[in-house]
Structure 1
Amino acid sequence: MEYRSLGSSGLKVPALSFGTGTFAGSGPLFGAWGRTDVAEARRLVDICLESGVNLFDSADVYSEGASEEVLGAAIKGRRGEILISTKAGLPTGEGANDRGTSRSRLIQVVDDALRRLGTDYIDIFQLHAFDASTPIEEVLGTLDTLVTAGKLRYVGVSNFSGWQIMKSLAIADRHNLPRYVANQVYYSLIGRDYEWDLMPLGADQGLGALVWSPLGWGRLTGKVRRDRPLPELSRLHDTADFGPPVDNEHLLKVIDALGEVAEETEKTIPQVALNWLLRRPTVSSVIIGARNEEQLRQNLGAIGWSLTDQQIEKLDKASLKEAPYPHFPYRRQEGFALLDPPLAG
């Protein structure tokens, strides 16, 4: 397994990490993802650790906290081998204080997560969404309290816009408060919006990307093909409306290119899609998921080899979309991109 720095921090994380959204699945979304129980989760954790994948990601909204409970039970007795990443901030109830990242709520949700996970610290804690109703100074001050108490080791964000991150970092620098080092983002061959703003921000400010839904909400698993209807039992029938939208013709164009590269490399479509992401700037870890051992082992096959420059170019060309204003005029200027390879592909 390859290990990378998490942004500008000293923490090393595996290039592939494991997402536990399938653990204890319940409800219309997470129930469709999977219903992994403790015994199955323990087996998946075993396989991950054997392969060097030691980072496990969860959230308090995954099956109303049950995902964290199953993860905690599955890792019992081997906490020292494992990095835990979890998130909080989205609504978990109907009460006025059951959402957001106020001081009162952050202290409570962190204590609740620690209890469910069966641990006394969280390695990477991310705010699951920006809370416009709470002053950023209050949020960061509370995170500072929790870090000082030893309950959190590193902090980050998820689903923030660029200005929300930059304002938070500026306030952190001004008041010597914890700086975000992780940005958990949606990024895939059919969803490259991350490159337009958040990727150059991450490179400039030292935020490492933890990539969620790297297979485009299940659309790049190889089950969807131009000449093949969506399988009747596919979870996409139940969950597509929850995920980022994608134009059907653009999706098929990307899948066509993935299919060609998969044949050339003798790899699967998901392995090619994941390997492409592993080559992208600022990516610290790609979060893979699996409902069973077979899916997990297939996804683990995305590492240990590399696409050729020509294959990357083919995938870049098929997946490229024109960046929106104000990005597109500058992306056309040679040498403008801050990162290498160019962000636009």
Structure 2
Amino acid sequence: MDYRLLGNSGTSVSTLTLGTMTFGSEADEPTSHQMLDTFVAAGGTLVDTADVYSGNESERIIGRWLKAHPTEAQQVVLATKGRFPQGDGPNDVGLSRRHLSRALDASLDRLGVETIDLYQMHAWDALTPIDETLRFLDDAVSAGKIVSYGFSNYLGYQITKAVYEAKGHGWAPPVTLQPQYNLLVRDIEHEVVPACLDAGIGLLPWSPLAGGWLSGKYQRDEAPTGATRLGENPQRGMEAWEARNGDERTWAVLDAVSAVADAHGASKSQVALAWLLAQPAVTSVILGARTVSQLEDNLGAADLVLDEAELRSLTEASAPRIDDYPYGTAGVAQRNRDITGGR
């Protein structure tokens, strides 16, 4: 397992993160604890959760594991999130000081810790003034309740606005962003990635396998069945599945992934994860396994290194199709030159 700095902070984290949205829902507590054991034994350090995962149960499951493993707990870099409803009242949601102060204290209690290493705003809140949110986060850093903070699902302008608002007041800066990012979903490269690179913010991509598509478990024109999320519960997004199934780009990407996987004797999941780890600004990729075997396979990406030709083939096959100004071919080419320092 390799390690990178958590954005512009001095904290080192593993390049693969254990995502725990499945804890308490798709994975019961014994299975969740086995995944934590497996992840830490492989050298993993960054564990990511949120107060809304499984109705707070994900945090509780992690808290009980931390208590039962005090030595291993010392190496865990713990991340959680706040923003979404924690009650039925009008102030039980959002990024206001009132809601976040209660949400943070509740997360600390469920996790059984005095300090959370990375506290993330789960989504933008258009109703709360951004300086109210940032001042609360700076106060939480000063109080020792959190080490640093980040965002999730923010747009490029929202990231930049927050960065310069914090800088102007002399408050602690954000260090990370959690976006959806994978070989099938690359639109953040137009605005979000450049904004993060400009601010020194590290990316923690979620859904790196595009809901299982990049693992190769879906077949063209065959409705999902069996032990898959959509096979077990088609109501979770069959309309989106049909749209992706009907898109030739999906199958071109999967063909490219398969070719690289065959060349390495690796799984398709490992190839998709390795490509993501090679992208600008990526600090650590979040693994969202439901079983220990899925996690073990994903962890194999830590040892997979793709050469320039393989990365190029995957990048070209998955290129986003946006032709309108300013995101057309010329605009994307200029963005790529900017990222690499070219002209």
- Structure 1 and Structure 2 fold alike (TM over 0.5): yes
**1:70 counterpart = 2:75:** no
**1:53 counterpart = 2:38:** no
Partner of 2:190: 196
**2:282 partner amino acid:** V
Do the aligned partners of residues 322 and 257 (structure 1) sit closer, same or farther apart at CA in structure 2, a change above 3 Å counting? same
Partner of 2:237: 240
**CA distance, structure 2, for counterparts of residue 314 and residue 88 of structure 1:** 38
User: Does structure 2 conserve the Cα–Cα contact (< 8 Å) formed by 1:127 and 1:156?
Assistant: yes
**CA distance, structure 1, for counterparts of residue 162 and residue 242 of structure 2:** 28
Partner of 1:326: 326
**CA distance, structure 2, for counterparts of residue 192 and residue 341 of structure 1:** 21
Structure 1 position 171, deviation (Å): 1.1
User: Does structure 2 conserve the Cα–Cα contact (< 8 Å) formed by 1:158 and 1:183?
Assistant: yes
Identity of aligned residues (%): 38
**CA distance, structure 2, for counterparts of residue 339 and residue 177 of structure 1:** 27
SS of the equivalent of 2:340 reads coil
Structure 1 position 24, deviation (Å): 0.5
**1:258 partner amino acid:** V
**CA distances 1:279-338 after superposition (whole Å, capped 9, x unpaired):** 101000001022222111100011112112222122112111234542326435568632
Do the aligned partners of residues 241 and 207 (structure 1) sit closer, same or farther apart at CA in structure 2, a change above 3 Å counting? farther
Instruction: Give unmatched runs, 5+ long, in structure 2.
Output: none
Do the aligned partners of residues 307 and 229 (structure 1) sit closer, same or farther apart at CA in structure 2, a change above 3 Å counting? farther
**CA distance, structure 2, for counterparts of residue 325 and residue 177 of structure 1:** 36
Of 108, 129, 132, the residue aligned with 1:135 is: 129
Structure 1 position 228, deviation (Å): 5.3
Structure 1 position 233, deviation (Å): 3.7
**1:88 counterpart = 2:61:** no
In proportion to residue count, which structure has more helix?
Answer: 2
SS of the equivalent of 2:304 reads coil
User: Does structure 2 conserve the Cα–Cα contact (< 8 Å) formed by 1:217 and 1:240?
Assistant: no
**CA distance, structure 2, for counterparts of residue 115 and residue 55 of structure 1:** 19
Partner of 2:219: 225
**Aligned runs of 1:262-281 on 2, under 5 Å?**
262-281=261-280
Partner of 2:283: 284
Partner of 1:4: 4
Partner of 2:140: 146
User: Does structure 2 conserve the Cα–Cα contact (< 8 Å) formed by 1:92 and 1:98?
Assistant: yes
**CA distance, structure 1, for counterparts of residue 332 and residue 136 of structure 2:** 43
Do the aligned partners of residues 338 and 241 (structure 1) sit closer, same or farther apart at CA in structure 2, a change above 3 Å counting? farther
Partner of 2:22: 22
**2:28 partner amino acid:** T
- The two structures have a TM-score, normalised by structure 1, of 0.91
**CA distance, structure 1, for counterparts of residue 190 and residue 178 of structure 2:** 16
**CA distances 1:27-56 after superposition (whole Å, capped 9, x unpaired):** xxxxxxx1321x322221111111110110
SS of the equivalent of 2:56 reads helix
**2:191 partner amino acid:** D
Structure 1 position 89, deviation (Å): 0.6
**CA distances 1:216-236 after superposition (whole Å, capped 9, x unpaired):** 122222211337553344212
Do the aligned partners of residues 126 and 256 (structure 1) sit closer, same or farther apart at CA in structure 2, a change above 3 Å counting? same
**1:174 counterpart = 2:168:** yes
- What's the RMSD between the two structures over aligned residues? 2.1
**CA distances 1:95-142 after superposition (whole Å, capped 9, x unpaired):** 201210111111100000000101011000110011111111111111
SS of the equivalent of 2:337 reads coil
**1:42 counterpart = 2:33:** yes
Structure 1 position 94, deviation (Å): 2.8
Structure 1 position 3, deviation (Å): 0.4
